[in-house]
Structure 1
Amino acid sequence: MWTLRSRKRARLSLASQFLVLQVAVLCVVVAVTGVVSFRQSEADFSQSRGARLRAAAEALAGTEAVQDELAAPRSRTALSFYAQQRADTVGATAVYLADAEGVVFASTDPSTYDQRVDLGPGTVLDGRSWTGDISDRGDRAIAAEVPVYSNDAPVRLVGVAVVTEDYPPFTDRLRQALDDMAVFLGLGLLLGVVGSWLLARLIKRRTRGLEPAEIAALADQREALLTSIREGVVAVDGAGTVTVSSATAQDLLGLPADAVGRRLDDLGLPEPVHGLLAGTDEVHDAVVVVGGRAVVVNRNPVAGAGGTVTTLRDRTELLALESELQVRRSVTDTLRAQTHEFSNQLHTISGLVQLEEYDEVGRLIGTLSRRRAAISDEVTAKVEDPAVAALLIAKTSLAAERRVDLDLAPDTALPRVDADLSADLVTVVGNLVDNAVDAAGADGRVVLGLRLVGDEVVLDVADSGPGVPPEREAEIFHRGFSTKPADAAGRGVGLALVQVVCARRGGSVAVGRAPDGGAVFTAVLRS
């Protein structure tokens, strides 16, 4: 597990920085929301008040007395009375009645008589009503402007009715808007701050309390580690996506360079490689063959996060040496057995010579010679490959010493094969025969068959032992499995080595049950 001790710094931690950033963003959002709400409130005020002012202006412009007086101006007092009455009715700031040129004839403010009223960008003098903002006596106001037409024929534009209302002071409008928004914005800000604080704590917990610099250091260390170790490393998350792939792993498994970030199903991997990486159970020191290489695999699930981490070691050369060592050990055991056998025979001949039983010495030597020749002739007649034939002759003597009969099946026939296949056959035959002799025990029997079928060499080794229980057939080829005593040398290697050699040759090895109850191992190697 990656660990890194956090050190105290004067600057804010990642969680604190995130909290401050979130609060700052929330404050900006609240400020923008307040401005937008204030603008919306102002627009609502303009729209609602403008409609009332326009209705008042239309009512004033539709008054017959107003129309007649503007058509022939005579009395400002009467028109001012109508203007004041309408202003009081709608609560307007000012009401103006102007002539067709926009010059005030009567209003609620006598000081504006004979002055030009601000008609804004409207087109009221063209006969169209208008509502909007104008400057009224230096103050910003909302105005409704309605044309006034004569009451006699022909109908003509005789004036303009303008009803205005000053905007409330900015502070009043702001206070009114804040009264409506304060509770909601304050509650939103409070919830946002609490949410940001909880999110900051979550980030701190998910990052194990590490700061950005420490996380970056971990990432750099991981990259350095992956590039420095010779073992391949592949990490797959719970969704089946490759998250880590070292260069060694890419070379061993044939993974593409852009495998990281892609799903295993999308990489087009061979079935053995896909199954190796997609598995979720623990694997310890399993030997698999990938692309002709013997790879030792260890796979462990990732606690909590899901997925697995798989490490791979190329042990092709090591297994080749191990295979050669097994052959040497087998040859050593065979030579030891033959030495013991020859010693006994020499002692017998020496005793007969001392007894001057020379005829018996001749008969004994002839018998031994014929027996040795018979074994050699039987083997070489069916097995033409010198290395395999020599091994079988030696194994026959070794089995005989242990009172086990080692026979060749009647259909055995093996021609001379190339040197590489011959070496692999020696490894497979030696291990299977040794296991069969051990299983058969004293007075037991082992039958070996060798056949070349097309481009495949098929090897059958049957023994008269107790056989392999069905529930253990799947585990006998695992490295380390053995029925020998705990102190037996090289235990749990032979069958695992046989499986690797067969797989590397594109073949397989399996175990079954013989008719007499013993075990039958069948190995297939491609030439």
Structure 2
Amino acid sequence: MRRTRLTLAGQILMLQLVVICGVLVVIAMISVRQSTETFQATRGSAMRSVAEYTSNVAVVRDQIDEPGATRALAPTVDRGLQLSGATTVAIADAGGTIVASSDPREVGTRAVLGDSRIGEGRGWSGDLTINGVRVVAAHAPVIGDDGSVLGFTIATQAYPRLWDRITDETTDLAVFLGIGALAGGLGTWWVSRLLKRRTRGLGSAEIATLADHREALLHSIGEGVVAVDPSGRVTLVNDGARALLGLQGVVIGRPVSSLDLPEDVRRLLGDHDDAHDEVVVVGDRVLVVNRRAASSHGRGIGSVTTMRDRTELVSLQNQLSSNLSISDTLRAQTHEFANRLHTISGLVELEEYDELAQLLGTLTRERADLDARIRDRVEDPAVAALLVAKSSAATEVAVRLVLHDQAHLPAVAADLSADLTTIIGNLIDNAIDASRGHEPAQVEVMTGVVDQDVVVTVTDTGPGVPDHLRDTIFVRGFSTKPEVLGGRGIGLPLVRVIATRRGGRVDVVHTGEHGARFEVRVPLVAPSPHTVVTGAASR
């Protein structure tokens, strides 16, 4: 037989009933304790009064030490018992032996004193256990005419049984039970309606299944997902986001501002406006981030940010840019050498040997001068070779490439040399394109080392960069479109990504009608991860 599963509302009802029963048990315990304390206070006072009354009766002082004390004091003991409602009233001599008692079985036995100091003539009241019964007791001294302690009186009353104390509170407990049951029923009805509306009518099993599927889906996808509530606290982060952002420890529930991330990344995650294809560099990773505002029934509930790793794509773009630059340079040099070979061939056919010798001498000197000028200022062989090749490419399009007189670059590490060739090559290519058709058409390159940073400055004589484009020129070319990978739109964005990954920066330090100057600073030694730059990107 299939077991019927309780609905979510039924489960909540059962839980509430358990809670109500627990509350009633606690109330019963409190009531019993309060009744016990009340009994101890009121009956303790009454027992003290009985004991003091009995000890002050004259016959007690006269007969307590006499052989017939039991018979002589019996009326006094009975009178004290009748007046107070005590369980027992007894009289003991100075040695603690009971000489008269309302319970004849106690006569001749030793009185149970507990922590009473009645032997010193001090009255006392408190709890005692006599023959296994808990009682509230009081002791009062019997003082002789000469001030000596002749004995003491005892008044006790047994505590009522626990069941009697509970049944005394039955009426109150019944009232509490009725109120609790009514409140529980109404609360369960309201909660069940609220849950049905909030959970779209799904049961607990369906909700658990959806939660399991959501967790499996979020943590199995390679893209990073981060959800943030309106107050800026992280409500969801999957394994992909942890890996891409380098997050450690407990993240969910923490404010975005407290995460160990650069400020720009925290601001990007904490905003609730839509953002499309923002480029973020975190450590050695290049991420493309999209953010979408989340809402429910027209009410904003935060934002969801997704991120994709595009590090490999940028690496491929870097290699492609270098290959395109090399191929363009080789093509320019081939074209230049072909033109010179045609000139030499014509002079040979015309038998103008003097002119041929003069031309060869001039070409040799120009090349030697160029090589020597670059080699003297640029000690890194890869960068020097790049400048020589770019000089030929610039000459082909009637642009003069000039190396600044104070330029200097020492030999650097192989990885930095490779990045510098990409940076300088892309900056020169953009400067040559900008300078073509302008007078004078010139590109000036300045290199140097300042405060352990390699500084590269490329200045052109083109139309300049408008102020409103000074940021977008570095990001608008980032794209995964095939035509972009074909060689357009990746130059300046690639320069910025490479500089940023190495802990440096690239700036347009001069704009206007007479050209632009781009300055790149990269450390000689790459810093540790967690450097960031953001910008718009196109698909």
Establish whether TM, by shorter chain, passes 0.5: yes
Asked if 1:318 is matched to 2:313, the reply is no
**What's the counterpart of residue 58 of structure 1?**
52
The aligned amino acid for 2:289 is: N
Give, as a single letter, the amino acid of the residue that structure 2 aligns with 1:517. Answer: H
Moved more, 75-84 or 61-70: 75-84
1:462 is aligned to 459
Whole-angstrom CA distance in 1 between matches of 2:468 and 2:289: 24
The whole-number CA distance in structure 2 between the counterparts of 1:324 and 1:338 is: 21
Question: Given the superposition, is the C-alpha separation of residues 392 and 38 from structure 1 closer, same or farther in structure 2, using an over 3 Å criterion?
Answer: same
TM-score, length of structure 1 as denominator length: 0.64
Using the alignment, how far apart are the partners of 1:54 and 1:382 within structure 2? 118
Name the structure 1 match of 2:166. 174
Q: Number of residues paired by the alignment? A: 484
Distance 1:248 1:307 in 2: 12
Q: Secondary structure at the match of 1:54?
A: helix
Task: Tell me the amino acid that sits aligned with residue 286 of structure 1.
Answer: V
Is the 1:93–1:165 Cα contact (8 Å) retained in structure 2? yes
Question: Secondary structure in 1 aligned to 2:277?
Answer: strand
1:368-383 → structure 2 map (5 Å cutoff) = 376=367, 379-380=370-371, 382-383=373-374
CA contact (8 A) 1:235 1:245 kept: no
Matched residue SS, 2:462: coil
Q: 1:284 aligns with which of 277, 281, 299?
A: 277
Conserved? CA contact 1:436–1:461, under 8 Å: yes
From the CA coordinates, give the structure whose radius of gyration is larger. Answer: 1
Work out which of the residue numbers 43, 46, 50 in structure 2 matches 1:49.
43
CA change 1:319–1:299 in 2 (3 A) is same
**Residue 38 of structure 1 aligns with which residue?**
32
Cα separation, 2, equivalents of 1:41 and 1:60 = 28
Check 1:126–1:450 CA distance in 2 against 1; reply closer, same or farther (3 A cut). Answer: closer
Q: How does 1:361-372 map to 2 (within 5 A)?
A: none
Matched residues in 2 for 1:365 and 1:499: separation?
Answer: 47
Decide whether aligned partners of structure 1 residues 21 and 428 sit closer, same or farther in structure 2, where only a CA change above 3 A counts.
same
Residue by residue, what CA displacement relative to the aligned partner does 1:165-187 show, whole Å, maximum 9, x if unpaired?
56557665334345566667876
For residue 475 of structure 2, what is the aligned residue in structure 1? Answer: 478
Deviation at 1:495, TM superposition (A): 0.7
Matches within 5 A, 1:23-422: 23-24=17-18, 27-68=21-62, 82-83=76-77, 85-92=79-86, 102-104=98-100, 116=107, 121-122=112-113, 131=125, 132=127, 144=138, 146=140, 148=142, 157=150, 161-163=153-155, 165=157, 172-179=164-171, 214=209, 217=212, 221=216, 225=220, 229=222, 274-275=262-263, 277-280=265-268, 284=277, 286=279, 288=281, 290=283, 293=284, 295-298=286-289, 300=291, 304=301, 311-315=308-312, 317-327=315-325, 330-331=328-329, 334=332, 376=367, 379-380=370-371, 382-384=373-375, 385-397=384-396, 399-400=397-398, 405-408=399-402, 411=405
Question: Is 1:436 equivalent to 2:431 in the alignment?
Answer: yes
Contact 2:477 2:488 (8 Å CA) reproduced:
yes
Q: Distance in 2 between matches of 1:54 and 1:135?
A: 18
CA distance, structure 2, for counterparts of residue 287 and residue 114 of structure 1? 96
Distance change in 2, residues 1:259/1:374 (3 Å): farther
Distance 1:444 1:31, change over 3 A: same
Unpaired segments of 5 or more residues in structure 2? 270-274, 295-300, 376-383, 525-539
Out of 437-446 and 296-305, give the one that drifted further. 296-305
Letter in 2 for 1:31: V
Provide TM-score, normalisation by structure 2: 0.63
Other-structure match for 1:510: 507
Is the 1:236–1:277 contact (alpha carbons within 8 Å) kept by the matching residues of 2? no
In 2, distance between residues paired with 1:518 and 1:321? 28
1:453 aligns with 2:451: no
Cα distance in 1, alignment partners of residues 203 and 418 from structure 2: 58
| Contact 2:467 2:511 survives alignment (8 Å) | no
Q: 2:517 aligns with which of 498, 516, 520?
A: 520
In structure 1, distance between residues paired with 2:474 and 2:176: 72
Cα deviation code 1:185-215 (max 9, x no counterpart): 8768987998899999999979x98769658
1:257 & 1:441 partners in 2: Cα distance?
A: 52
Conserved in 2, the CA contact under 8 Å of 1:284 and 1:299?
A: yes
Secondary structure in 1 aligned to 2:472? coil
Are the structure 2 counterparts of residues 492 and 145 from structure 1 closer, same or farther at C-alpha, using a change threshold of 3 Å? same
- Note the aligned Cα RMSD (angstroms): 6.1
Out of 497, 501, 509, the position equivalent to 2:494 is 497
Q: Would the alpha carbon gap of residues 134 and 368 (structure 1) be closer, same or farther in structure 2, given more than 3 Å must change?
A: closer
Q: Distance in 2 between matches of 1:278 and 1:96?
A: 83
CA distance in 2, matches of 1:326, 1:431: 10
The unaligned stretches of length 5 or more in structure 1 are 1-8, 353-357
Kindly state the Cα deviation for residue 32 of structure 1 after the two structures are TM-superposed: 3.9
Distance, in Å, in 1 between the alignment partners of 2:240 and 2:477 is 30
CA drift at 1:478: 1.4
8 Å CA contact retained: 1:54, 1:145: yes
Q: Which has the higher contact order (CA 8 A, sep 6+)?
A: 2
Change (3 A) 1:244 1:457: same
CA deviations on 1:320-355 (whole Å, 9 max, x unpaired) are 32223432563487489879x969x98x99xx9xxx
Identity among equivalent positions (%) equals 31
Q: Deviations over 1:15-36 (max 9, x none)?
A: 8767745653553353144224
Q: Distance in 1 between matches of 2:336 and 2:178?
A: 99
Closer, same or farther in 2 for the Cα pair 1:467/1:28, shift >3 Å?
Answer: same
Change in Cα spacing, 1:160 to 1:387, as seen in structure 2 (3 Å) is closer
- Give the conservation status (yes or no) of the 8 Å contact 1:232–1:246: yes
CA distance in 1, matches of 2:391, 2:36: 106
Q: Specify whether residues 257 and 126 from structure 1 end up closer, same or farther in structure 2 by C-alpha distance, changes over 3 A only.
A: closer
